[in-house]
Amino acid sequence: MEYTTQLNSAVNELQRITGIKLEVAADSIQDEERALKQLRSLCNAYKEKFNKNHFLKSLMIGSVSPVEAMEDALRLHIAPEEQRILFLLEMKGALNDTVKEILKNLFPPQTKAYLIPMTECGVAILRPVKDTESEQEIFQLAHMIVDTLNTEALTHVWAAYSGVIHHLTELAAAWQETSLALKVGKLFYSEQTVFPYNRLGIGRLIYQLPVPICEGFLKELFGNDVPDSMDEDTTATINRFLQNNLNIAETSRQLHMHRNTLIYRLDQVEKRTGLDLRRFEDAMTFKIASLVMNYLQTERNSKHE
């Protein structure tokens, strides 16, 4: 009797979530038990395949056709034409329960945002966006997410985000756009933690250049003696000098460094590279060369992993 009641409940549950009506007959308790397990497995498999996160993830990676996407969206009650923004977060460590709980608090159900785990260290957030929200407000929201996770979960986080998505069929393109922003941002703008899809600058261009062209550029600039990467102190000094528009006095003040010490470091860079960073053209050339060297080093490391 107990198995019969459970069996009827499982049949009703399957019909509720799939619309399929079955009639199950069993001649023994053992048959009822097997049928119950099979029905429960079917229900769990269907729920897993057709839950909202699974559907959105499949849509992002392009494993769902546009026709299927619209049918599934209607079945899952996801509005296909609502304006949304896609955020992509990557943690330095694994995506743990603390991070998930913080994100749920930041994006409760009433926000109509979807939290979609993508990898062991990454999660996507698909969030509705209002017509009145400015690009600056979206940028500030991304920073708020990063800062909250850094503070409360004690984990280092990078975030990238897409442009406005007007229809669910644009989600795959937004995913590619946001993934590229995260890769380019981490590679070329290591001092930042938030990477908008439309602020990648020259990093976007270099990232999409073939390796032989990058190697040819460095060889043309330095000959066969391409310099190794600079030490952290020198790199930090140069970056600050460039950020301050080649202003020696302001850079010295911000770094709490004597003017002569800064000039000495710039002279050392000139000896190693042949580029005088006090000249705009040489500074610009050095900046591009350093980005290219960083890109090539990352490419070589990835091939050995």
User: In Å, how far are 35, 38, 233 from 254, measured between CA atoms?
Assistant: 73, 68, 14
Q: How many CA atoms lie within 13 A of 286 on its CB side?
A: 25
CATH of the domain at 295: 1.10.10.2840
Instruction: Verify that 89 and 43 share a domain, yes or no.
Output: no
Instruction: Verify that 220 and 292 share a domain, yes or no.
Output: yes
pLDDT over 80 (residue 231): no
Instruction: Verify that 226 and 259 share a domain, yes or no.
Output: yes
Instruction: Verify that 220 and 287 share a domain, yes or no.
Output: yes
Mean pLDDT in residue range 2-31: 71
Q: pLDDT exceeding 70 applies to what percent of the chain? A: 90
Inter-residue long-range contacts of 135-141, CB under 8 Å, 24+ positions, other chains counted: 135/196, 138/85, 138/196, 139/194, 139/196
For residue 250, is it within any domain?
yes
Q: Domain residues for 34?
A: 2-49
Q: Count structural domains, the chain.
A: 3
pLDDT over 90 (residue 157): yes
Q: Given pLDDT bands bounded at 50, 70 and 90, which one contains residue 50?
A: low
Question: Domain end: 199, 222, 253, which one?
Answer: 199
For residue 72, is it within any domain?
no
For residue 73, is it within any domain?
no
Instruction: Verify that 157 and 234 share a domain, yes or no.
Output: no
Q: Given pLDDT bands bounded at 50, 70 and 90, which one contains residue 24?
A: confident
State the sign of the Cα–Cα–Cα–Cα dihedral 142, 128, 16, 50. negative
Instruction: Verify that 191 and 108 share a domain, yes or no.
Output: yes
Q: How far apart are CA 102 and CA 77, in angstroms?
A: 25
Tens digits of residue pLDDT in 112-155: 999 998 888 999 999 999 888 999 999 999 999 999 999 998 88
Instruction: Verify that 261 and 190 share a domain, yes or no.
Output: no
Q: Strand 194-196's sheet: what is its strand order? A: 114-117, 122-128, 84-91, 157-161, 194-196
For residue 153, is it within any domain?
yes
- The amino acid that residue 123 corresponds to is V
For residue 70, is it within any domain?
no
Tens digits of residue pLDDT in 273-293: 888 999 999 999 988 888 888
pLDDT over 80 (residue 20): no
For residue 67, is it within any domain?
no
Mean pLDDT in residue range 72-98: 88
For residue 216, is it within any domain?
yes
Instruction: Verify that 170 and 109 share a domain, yes or no.
Output: yes
Q: Which residues make Cβ contacts (< 8 Å) with residue 114, sequence separation at least 6? A: 52, 53, 56, 125, 126, 127
For residue 62, is it within any domain?
no
CATH of the domain at 187: 3.30.70.270
Greater pLDDT, 185 or 93? 185
Q: How far apart are CA 177 and CA 115, in angstroms?
A: 18
